[in-house]
């Protein structure tokens, strides 16, 4: 059986998954069901206060899982029919990957229903990644990292990271799941960015199918193709003006899918390169995420009803609430001109104000008031541009740094 056959079947099943997901989401009954279960949100950037069903990512996620369950016999069925030696290691990898994704989908849905606290958001992906790490340990347990050429005289050809490699992989799952969730809040952005990351991974996998480690990339494609299929259908309804919200369910499910293919496909560092906007957004958000600067419940841009455009949202806080570290960071951001900081405001000048520290607000800071749809398109172009940078780093640069 050619290595292309299962990929081809997976591609066909992904097209089917698109139409199935679309059919399910468009059902008016679905909206009723979600609203009745109190799973709805109000679009903060619109004047209408209509109830929009939330957590619809659970629909695309479930269809993704069903498609993958149905797909399992395709790469493994041949061994049963031909009575040849069954690749138990590959099979357990697939099942563990599905278990981790399934687990994350459930935990994401629990978050949407129960509105979990931030510490749970860090704990849940760590727990969901355990089956994956266990399989990695049993199947590979390779924790060595190849050192770039310029550092080899000091460090050697490779270093064994041991337990730290597992900590890194656990953290990768936490990062991927949360990074998408915090670059969110405008119509189409959560799904849009995830699809661009998934397509970048797919392009990378397909190009690597011609290489030596094609099996790992073939494995990754089994997950990424149906993911793209189901998410495209979701994007159709989440695109401006959103008729459904994807919820934290989708962000967690997506992050875990990327972490799974990155870890078991052995390209976690390349995968992180596709997360460049999310990394920038995370680093920029650090002062608010770690509560050095006041962090409101929503950091999304503010809607101006007169112009129907979005403007930077701000956070206002007492000067005395800011500790020395927060103070230094804000000053540094000001010197770097990446923040709009106003000091001594309020009647008695005891307050400070700055833009909410997200990439979305940062772009608004530069380009001024923008329509929601256009802003989302700009952010998605940035994501595509960063993928192009990622490929430039991955291929030409890696050749210079790692070529023996």
Q: Is 182 a residue that touches ligand UD1 (CB under 6 A)?
A: yes
Instruction: Map residues 124-163 to x or -, x wherever contact with Mg ion holds by CB under 5 A.
Output: ----------------------------------------
Q: Is 354 a residue that touches ligand UD1 (CB under 6 A)?
A: no
Pick one of ligand UD1, Mg ion, none as the site partner of residue 208 (Cβ within 5 to 8 A by kind). Answer: none
Residue with tokens 């608004």: 364
The minimum distance between CB 116 and ligand UD1, in angstroms, equals 9
Q: Is 238 a residue that touches Mg ion (CB under 5 A)?
A: no
Q: Is 248 a residue that touches Mg ion (CB under 5 A)?
A: yes
CB-wise, 43 or 248, nearer to Mg ion? 248
The candidate with the shortest Cα–Cα distance to 96, out of 252, 219, 235, is 219
Kindly report the CA angle at 247 between 244 and 249, in degrees rounded to 5? 130
Q: Is 181 a residue that touches ligand UD1 (CB under 6 A)?
A: yes
Pick one of Mg ion, ligand UD1, none as the site partner of residue 22 (Cβ within 5 to 8 A by kind). Answer: none
CA distances from 335 to 16, 52, 328, 357, 378 (A): 52, 41, 11, 15, 26
The minimum distance between CB 102 and ligand UD1, in angstroms, equals 21
CB-wise, 14 or 285, nearer to ligand UD1? 285
The minimum distance between CB 190 and ligand UD1, in angstroms, equals 7
The minimum distance between CB 94 and ligand UD1, in angstroms, equals 30
The minimum distance between CB 188 and ligand UD1, in angstroms, equals 7
The minimum distance between CB 26 and ligand UD1, in angstroms, equals 19
Give the nearest residue (CB) to ligand UD1. 41
Q: Is 370 a residue that touches ligand UD1 (CB under 6 A)?
A: no
CB-wise, 294 or 299, nearer to ligand UD1? 299
HEC string for the chain: CCCHHHHHHHHHHHHHHHHHHHHHHCCHHHHHHHHHCCCEEECCCCCCCCEEECCCHHHHHHHHHHHHHHHCHHHHHHHHHCCCCCCHHHHHHHHHHHHHHHHHHHHHHHHHHHCCCHHHHHHHHHHHCHHHHHHHHHHCCCCEEECCHHHHHHHCCEEECCHHHHHHHHHHHHHHHHHHHHCCCCCCHHHHHHHHHHHHHHHHHHHHCCCCCHHHHHHHHHHHHHHHHHHHHHHHHHCCCCCCCCHHHHHHHHHHHHHHHHHHCCCHHHHHHCCHHHHHHHHHHHHHHCCCCCCCCCCCCEEECCCCEEECCEEEEEHHHCCHHHHHHHHHHHHCCCCCEEEEECCCCCEEEEECCCHHHHHHHHHCCECHHHHHHHHHHHHHHHHHHHHHHHHHHHHHHHCC
Task: Choose which of 17, 60, 187, 193 interacts with ligand UD1 (CB under 6 A).
Answer: 187
Task: Choose which of 54, 223, 273, 390 interacts with ligand UD1 (CB under 6 A).
Answer: 54
Instruction: Map residues 219-258 to x or -, x wherever contact with ligand UD1 holds by CB under 6 A.
Output: -----------------------x--x--x----------
Size of the site for Mg ion (CB under 5 A): 2
CA atoms 231, 232, 234, 240: torsion sign: positive
| Binding positions for ligand UD1, 261-300, rule CB under 6 A | 298-300
The minimum distance between CB 308 and ligand UD1, in angstroms, equals 15
The minimum distance between CB 261 and ligand UD1, in angstroms, equals 23
Instruction: Map residues 5-44 to x or -, x wherever contact with ligand UD1 holds by CB under 6 A.
Output: ------------------------------------xxxx
| R_g over Cα of the chain | 22
Chain residues that interact with ligand UD1, rule: CB under 6 A: 41-45, 54, 181-182, 184-187, 242, 245, 248, 298-300
Q: Residues in the site for Mg ion, rule: CB under 5 A?
A: 181, 248
């Amino acid at each position: 059986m050619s290595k292309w056959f299962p990929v081809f079947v997976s591609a066909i099943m992904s097209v089917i998954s698109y139409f199935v997901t679309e059919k399910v989401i468009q059902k008016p009954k679905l909206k009723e069901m979600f609203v009745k279960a109190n799973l709805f949100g109000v679009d903060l950037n619109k004047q209408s206060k209509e109830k929009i069903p939330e957590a619809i990512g659970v629909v695309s996620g479930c269809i993704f899982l069903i498609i993958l369950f149905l797909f399992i016999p395709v790469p493994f069925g041949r061994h049963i029919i031909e009575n040849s030696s069954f690749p138990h290691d590959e099979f357990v990898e697939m099942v563990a990957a599905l278990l981790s994704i399934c687990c994350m989908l459930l935990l994401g849905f629990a978050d949407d229903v129960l509105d979990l606290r931030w510490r749970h958001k860090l704990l849940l992906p760590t727990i969901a990644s355990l089956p994956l790490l266990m399989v990695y340990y049993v199947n590979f347990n390779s924790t060595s990292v190849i050192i770039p050429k310029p550092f080899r005289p000091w460090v050697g050809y490779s270093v064994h990271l041991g337990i730290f490699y597992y900590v890194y992989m656990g953290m990768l799952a936490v990062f991927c799941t949360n990074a998408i969730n915090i670059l969110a809040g405008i119509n189409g952005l959560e799904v849009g960015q995830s699809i661009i990351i998934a397509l970048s991974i797919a392009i990378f996998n397909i190009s690597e199918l011609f290489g030596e480690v094609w099996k790992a990339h073939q494995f990754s494609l089994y997950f990424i193709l149906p993911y793209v299929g189901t998410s495209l259908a979701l994007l159709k309804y989440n695109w401006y003006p959103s008729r459904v919200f994807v919820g934290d369910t989708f962000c967690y499910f997506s992050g875990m899918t990327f972490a799974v293919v990155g870890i078991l496909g052995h390209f976690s560092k390349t995968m992180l390169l596709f997360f460049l906007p999310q990394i920038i957004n995370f680093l920029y958000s650090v002062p608010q995420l770690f509560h050095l600067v006041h962090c409101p419940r929503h950091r999304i841009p503010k809607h101006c009803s007169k112009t129907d455009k979005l403007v930077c949202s701000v956070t206002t806080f007492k000067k005395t609430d800011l500790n020395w570290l927060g103070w230094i960071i804000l000053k540094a951001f000001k010197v770097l001109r990446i923040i709009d900081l106003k000091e001594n405001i309020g009647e008695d000048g005891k307050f400070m104000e700055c833009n909410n520290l997200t990439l979305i607000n940062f772009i608004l800071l530069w380009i001024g008031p923008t329509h929601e749809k256009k802003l989302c398109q700009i952010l998605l172009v940035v994501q595509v541009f960063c993928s192009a940078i990622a490929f430039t780093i991955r291929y030409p640069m890696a050749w210079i740094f790692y070529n023996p």
